[in-house]
A = this chain, B = another copy of it.
Amino acid sequence: MDVGFHGLSAFPLTPADEDGVVDAEALSRLIERLDAAEVDSIGLLGSTGSYAYLSRAERLRAIKATVESLKGKRPLIVGVGALRTSESVALAKDAEAAGADALLLAPVSYTPLTQEEAYHHFAAVAGSTSLPLCIYNNPSTTKFSFGDELLVRLAYIPHIRAVKMPLPADMAFKDELERLRPRLGEGFAIGYSGDWGASQAVMQGANCWYSVIGGLLPVPSLRLLRAAQAGDATEVERIEAYFQPLWSLFQEFGSYRVVYAAANLLSLTHRQPPLPVMPLSVSDCARVEEALAKLSELDGLPAATP
């Protein structure tokens, strides 16, 4: 199986009840949507997939439900971040045994980590399974900043094959890619999360869009991604206009809260984010509904989408 660190990597929610018990049925429905749309990979148990809020047993339940739904048709990347190295190692082994194709690892911390500590954490997890691993560089949730030197050291570890980068402050993807590519090596995949910048990232040479909205609305997301991959700037700009209201809400409330509201509005799940994270207010949900309506005006979508 192609490990899937390219194209559209779709990150679904993991619907769960108030105690963190995964709703496998609702998750399977989300996975089947992604499979039907033919996304390039599925990123299970990313930040959008609430990995940090779920126990080891519940994460395994989510993986098993997904593997059963996918039947090997799409590459499955599974997030294995945890505060303890020993826990991340156990999660990685669980994921491999349950049928994951690749791992995604964020340097979750409580005591802020040094670059050296993060290096040993990644080396231990990468060495514990035979699966390829993507570095999850997400300072907005982990508060950890990867120096270039650390990324270079990690890229020397055989199983570590990709990085999921945050949007650069000035959206200067080209500069960042030109700086990192020669140091990380040609076979090392560089992708981005932050949905509102992803089409530009791909136009400027990024390998992958690690996408929140792709996990819920794969059809219009793939339209945008394919236009970006083809280098069709006019079409990208045209499609981006339909996404714009959603991007504004992502930036205002965080994509996590907005995508839960959207999933509820679309009747894909009635589950809410884990408290203390609160659902959006009724009036903010109305704005999400408007943004979904705008996106549904994008021509050429199947009648039933988004």
A residues adjacent to B (C-beta < 8 A): 18-20, 47, 52-53, 83-86, 107-114, 116-118, 120-121, 124, 140-141, 143, 254, 256-257, 273-278
Nearest CB of B to A114, in Å:
8
The answer to whether A117 touches B278 (Cβ under 8 A) is yes
The answer to whether A52 touches B110 (Cβ under 8 A) is yes
Q: What residues of chain B lie closer than 8 Å to A112, measured between beta carbons? A: 140-141, 254
Bound: A47/B109 CA distance, A:
12
A52-B110, A108-B110, A118-B276 known; 7 new pairs, CB 8 Å cut-off, are A53-B84, A85-B276, A107-B276, A112-B141, A113-B276, A113-B277, A121-B275
Bound: A254/B19 CA distance, A:
34
Chain copies in complex: 2
The answer to whether A276 touches B110 (Cβ under 8 A) is no
A47-B111 CB under 8 A given contacts A83-B52, A83-B53: yes
Nearest CB of B to A252, in Å:
11
The answer to whether B277 touches A117 (Cβ under 8 A) is yes
CB-contact partner of A53 in B20, B110, B121, under 8 A: B110
Nearest CB of B to A22, in Å:
14
Q: What residues of chain B lie closer than 8 Å to A273, measured between beta carbons? A: 111
The answer to whether A111 touches B254 (Cβ under 8 A) is yes
Q: What residues of chain B lie closer than 8 Å to A274, measured between beta carbons? A: 83-85
Nearest CB of B to A140, in Å:
7
Q: Please give me the residue from chain B that is nearest to A88 by CB atom.
A: B276
The answer to whether B110 touches A275 (Cβ under 8 A) is no
Nearest CB of B to A282, in Å:
15
Q: What residues of chain B lie closer than 8 Å to A107, measured between beta carbons? A: 276
Q: Which among A19, A107, A110, A118 has the highest number of chain B CB atoms within 10 Å?
A: A110
